Amino acid sequence: MLYLVIRQRKTQYSEDYSVEKWSRKIKEANQYLSALSLLENDEDVMFFIVPAKENPALILTEEVDTKANGKEINITEEMPF
């Protein structure tokens, strides 16, 4: 099992989440959580741990048709870079 240390920044106008650290051991994740919480000076920032299952990455094997902002777009396996 993976443990994600999530950084939440919540202001009056927005809410933002990001993965700050990750660990395979809960003890190590707790150490990261403690250290990050002590080092953070911003009152709008909070850290917490979320357990996550290890799943393989999703890989597209077929072309997918979808719409974005009302326009048709095609998503394929090819990367633009």
pLDDT per position as a tens digit, 17-41: 999 999 999 999 999 999 999 998 8
Q: Is the pLDDT of residue 65 over 70?
A: no
pLDDT confidence of residue 18 = 92
- In the beta sheet, which residues pair with residue 50? 4
pLDDT confidence of residue 54 = 73
Which residue type sits at 15?
A: E
- DSSP state for residue 44 in the 8-state scheme: T
- Smallest Cα–Cα separation from 21: which of 40, 39, 2? 2
pLDDT confidence of residue 1 = 84
